[in-house]
């Protein structure tokens, strides 16, 4: 059953539409055309891998200095893993839920 869910996630995540991101500080940055090209959850290992691309533009306006740079960037995640253990215990009749995450 888990294998079917993993196949489904692997097939739909690359079709997710990610909205543009823009922030204003002393500089402005804008990320657009954000795409998950490849996404993979292995069936027999913990972790993920994938490839993502985006176009970025950075503008700095400080006094009379105006600098602008734009480029397309590719981000590759070859392998990452997270181990998590979720436990439920009862101490003094009050249930406790705890999560232990190891990276």
Q: What is the pLDDT of residues 28-65, one digit of tens each?
A: 888 888 888 888 877 777 677 888 888 888 888 777 77
Q: Residue 1 pLDDT > 60, yes or no?
A: no
Burial class (CB in 10 A: 0-12, 13-18, 19+), 40: middle
pLDDT (0 to 100) of residue 62 = 77
Range in 6-10, 47-51, 99-103 the model is least confident about: 99-103
Report d(CA 76, CA 65) in Å as an integer. 34
2 vs 80 pLDDT, higher one: 80
Report d(CA 34, CA 20) in Å as an integer. 7
pLDDT (0 to 100) of residue 92 = 63
% of the chain residues with pLDDT over 70? 71
pTM above 0.75, yes or no: no
């Amino acid at each position: 059953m888990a294998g079917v869910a993993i196949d489904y996630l692997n097939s739909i995540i690359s079709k997710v539409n990610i909205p543009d991101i823009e922030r204003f500080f002393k500089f402005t940055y804008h990320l657009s055309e954000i795409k998950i090209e490849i996404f993979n959850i292995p069936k027999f290992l913990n972790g993920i891998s994938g490839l993502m691309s985006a176009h970025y533009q950075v503008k700095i306006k400080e006094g009379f200095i105006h600098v602008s740079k734009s480029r397309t960037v590719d981000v590759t995640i070859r392998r990452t893993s997270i181990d998590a253990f979720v436990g439920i215990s009862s101490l003094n009749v009050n249930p406790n839920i705890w999560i232990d995450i190891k990276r």
